[in-house]
Structure 1
Amino acid sequence: MAKKYEIELPDSAFEKTDFSTNEELSLSVNHKQINIRPIKVRDQLPKINIFWYVIPAVILSAAFLIFVNLKSITTIPITGDDYSIANGALILGGCSGVLSFLVTFIVTKILGKGPSKDFYWRSLPTITIACGLIIAFSFSAIFWLFEQMFKGARFDIYTATCFIFVILAALNYIMINLALTLSSGVITNLLTIMIISGMLFSMLTNSSRDWWRYNFSFLGTAKNSTSFQFNITLIFTGLLMIALVDYLFVSIQKRYRGYKIQVLRWLLIMLAICIASIGIFPNNPQFHILHDRISMWLVYIMLILIIVVRWVLPEVTKQFLTVSYVIGVVMGAEYIVFKLTDYLSLTAFELFEFGLAFSWLLLLLQNIENLAQFGQNLFVIKIKPIDKK
């Protein structure tokens, strides 16, 4: 016969939930962890009123239709022309999506509801601009793909307006949902998506197809037609990383104190500043020396982090330390091979080093995120069997 158990929760933990006493809840066990949540799945999802994302889409779609009518346009291409579905979706979608995120974030923070209440106001501009950049990069890539698939396709203004409406409504919903579920994990994903999509976009659309014959930094120079996109990606990646570190360490310091945790925090902030500075000072002739020195500082800080992580990261695991040292050794070996042989080109060396460094940085942020989560939401409970009499 199965035993019955009761769980004693402290009041401080119960107050963080929306549960009521005597409410029936569901319990699941996953990876040796117990999760307690509402029985109905819909109670766990953000409640987004349909009018929040449909009405702005209707208004902007109507504005698009009126505009093309005033211009006496009869058919609209997917991309290419000034008056195309791609440009309409990019301009209207970027404004609508960013505004939806901004309004939702501000309202929920003022009301003290949702995850936005745990973020600082100073992080809002960086996160908002990062969202706008991701929308721009994503739309550019998607419509470039559509153009390759449907070459020469044109639509009448009413069909094009319907496409615009669907795109705007979907984007508004995604951005509102993002603001309602914002977390350190989401920001880490935004950081990853932004830097990868921004660099890929610059590689695919730049004017020089032989950029790889020079070096990775060539993408940010004045010789590259998409240097602005490349550099702005680096700048806001650095700023977004600062916002993430700022958010995480406030939570961590509720449980872990001392100078070691501050050393880790400032090393990460300096690393983020170096990333942003590489975008601010591209490898143009007037900034060449400064650009190279900042790049070297970036490498030095990465090596320092890998070496000291075992002392400055609380509760660090042997697995993470092993991965850190392996990545450090591989990066060092690549540097020696690059300097002593002609096996690796400068571009290949930079791409390999960037891939390894960025992968390790994501692992480190994931470990810090786990510490922040447990440090803020860790409570002592008791599980004891119910005696049957």
Structure 2
Amino acid sequence: MKRGSKVAKKYKVEIPAAALKETDFDPGDDLSLSVSHKQFVIRSAKVTDLIPQINIGFYTVPALLMMVIFFVYSRSLGVNQVALTGEDYSIANAGTLLGTISGIVIFVIAAIWTKVNQTGPTKELYWRNLPTIVIACGLILAFSFSAAFWLLGRLFMDASFDIYTSTVMIFMILAVVNYVMINLAMTLTTSIITNLLTIMIIGGMLFAMLTNSSRDWWKHNFSFLGTAEDSANFQFNVTLIFSGALMLTLVDYLFVNLQKNFKGRRILILRWLLYALSACIASIGLFPNDPQFHILHDRISMWLVYIILILIVALRWILPRVTKQFLTLSYTLGVVMGVEYIVFKLTDYLSLTAFELLEFGLAFSWLLLLLQNIENLANFGHNLFIVTVKDDSKK
């Protein structure tokens, strides 16, 4: 070795046996280590091991069956030219119906298969959680199809295709949807459920705003989207109902693991407050702001606000190992929400719709951060393990 050259230091990380059992790795396997955002990520050295291996027949065969159904039914109606979008028979309507049905069935089969065979994160899922997740995925599929075809209808107005081209398009759409749903079932985790909750609430509400019959809905209030006066009230209310149910599922999923590591009355209080919050979200959709439910709707909305304020104030005592940064952020958001309420009540600066949207945005953002903190605590000691980095050059 040349004089002046430096010997590269080596460090050793000892992996607990319990952690190794949670993987498919064996002692002596080659693993790759990468550094991402100042964190070590250890994974298989084979790129193919990082991607769920899905047999091509699992998603193409169901798509072929649905394609045949579409072709035969179109022929029975004597249809030779199919419109891209429209209220009558169209690729949009057929794709939405067949895609949603096919996607849900494929997702259920894949989720049950992975859970029974203990081959993916779905093994951590409880059977009681599956129905809500399936319904949420179905609604997200239906909303996604509707939004995508709504946009395509605006871009390609009056477009139509012959029966053979339309059939091929239906096959391609269904094959992609089936693949996505199988992949989702094989990689389903609490983080993905949180993402589904976010997509469902934001996507459902945006879709209701885009498709409602009254362009002046914002002059009334945010809850107007759920009333009988608006044509999009069904989408808006269903979004809230199943968002509340999905959040209930997520809280149930998280707290079973959380209570293995942290016990006591404080955890129970936090859990039941989040259950109550989920119930309020669902109840706002269940009891829209129509005349017969107006008083109940307003009271439930206020209960939701009170529960969030109680959570923020009591966070220091009911959330284990809460960080100073999260406490500071929570109190800051609580103060901002309080100031907005005072400004709305005492001045005409904020309209009712603007006030509701701002409060919803702040509350929902904080709720996602809270769920993320709970998820990290729930994984600690279950999917997270303490390791020590040792200097291997000193022998």
For 1:243, the aligned partner's letter is: T
Is residue 229 from structure 1 mapped to residue 235 from structure 2 by the alignment? yes
Q: Look up the match of 2:291.
A: 285
Is residue 249 from structure 1 mapped to residue 255 from structure 2 by the alignment? yes
Alpha-carbon distance in structure 2 between the residues aligned to 1:76 and 1:91 = 15
Quote the offset at 1:325 in angstroms: 1.2
Is residue 361 from structure 1 mapped to residue 377 from structure 2 by the alignment? no
Give the 3 Å change call, closer, same or farther, for CA 341–72 of structure 1 in structure 2.
same
Alpha-carbon distance in structure 2 between the residues aligned to 1:61 and 1:86 = 14
Q: Look up the match of 2:165.
A: 159
Quote the offset at 1:27 in angstroms: 1.4
Q: Is the Cα–Cα contact under 8 Å of residues 202 and 230 in structure 1 kept in the other structure?
A: yes
Q: Look up the match of 2:3.
A: none
Is residue 312 from structure 1 mapped to residue 318 from structure 2 by the alignment? yes
Alpha-carbon distance in structure 2 between the residues aligned to 1:350 and 1:383 = 49
Alpha-carbon distance in structure 2 between the residues aligned to 1:385 and 1:372 = 31
Q: Look up the match of 2:226.
A: 220
Is residue 375 from structure 1 mapped to residue 370 from structure 2 by the alignment? no
Q: SS of the counterpart of 1:254?
A: helix
Quote the offset at 1:10 in angstroms: 2.5
Q: Is the Cα–Cα contact under 8 Å of residues 302 and 357 in structure 1 kept in the other structure?
A: yes
Quote the offset at 1:326 in angstroms: 1.3
Q: Tell me the percent identity.
A: 64
Is residue 79 from structure 1 mapped to residue 85 from structure 2 by the alignment? yes
Q: Look up the match of 1:14.
A: 20
For 1:106, the aligned partner's letter is: I
The 5 A counterparts of 1:63-78 are: 63-78=69-84
Please give the per-residue CA displacement for 1:104-147, whole angstroms capped at 9, x wherever unaligned. Answer: 00111111221111111111110000001111111111111111
Q: Look up the match of 1:347.
A: 353
Please give the per-residue CA displacement for 1:193-222, whole angstroms capped at 9, x wherever unaligned. Answer: 111111111111112222111111111111
Is residue 176 from structure 1 mapped to residue 182 from structure 2 by the alignment? yes
Alpha-carbon distance in structure 2 between the residues aligned to 1:337 and 1:351 = 14
Q: SS of the counterpart of 2:321?
A: coil
Please give the per-residue CA displacement for 1:222-268, whole angstroms capped at 9, x wherever unaligned. Answer: 11112111111000000000100111111112211111111111111
Q: Look up the match of 2:61.
A: 55
Q: Look up the match of 2:194.
A: 188
Q: SS of the counterpart of 1:384?
A: strand
Residue segments in structure 1 that go unaligned for 5+ positions in a row: none
Quote the offset at 1:387 in angstroms: 5.9
- TM score, norm. by length of structure 2: 0.96
Give the 3 Å change call, closer, same or farther, for CA 344–7 of structure 1 in structure 2.
closer
Alpha-carbon distance in structure 2 between the residues aligned to 1:265 and 1:375 = 19
Alpha-carbon distance in structure 2 between the residues aligned to 1:134 and 1:379 = 35
Residue segments in structure 2 that go unaligned for 5+ positions in a row: 1-6
The 5 A counterparts of 1:117-132 are: 117-132=123-138
For 1:369, the aligned partner's letter is: E
The 5 A counterparts of 1:292-331 are: 292-331=298-337
Q: SS of the counterpart of 1:34?
A: strand
Q: Is the Cα–Cα contact under 8 Å of residues 6 and 383 in structure 1 kept in the other structure?
A: yes
Alpha-carbon distance in structure 1 between the residues aligned to 2:40 and 2:213 = 54
For 2:236, the aligned partner's letter is: F
Given candidates 101, 104, 121, the residue that maps to 2:110 is 104
Q: SS of the counterpart of 2:78?
A: coil
Please give the per-residue CA displacement for 1:172-194, whole angstroms capped at 9, x wherever unaligned. Answer: 00000000110111011100111
Quote the offset at 1:373 in angstroms: 2.1
Q: Is the Cα–Cα contact under 8 Å of residues 252 and 375 in structure 1 kept in the other structure?
A: no
Give the 3 Å change call, closer, same or farther, for CA 385–284 of structure 1 in structure 2.
same
Q: Look up the match of 2:43.
A: 37
- TM score, norm. by length of structure 1: 0.97
Q: SS of the counterpart of 1:36?
A: strand
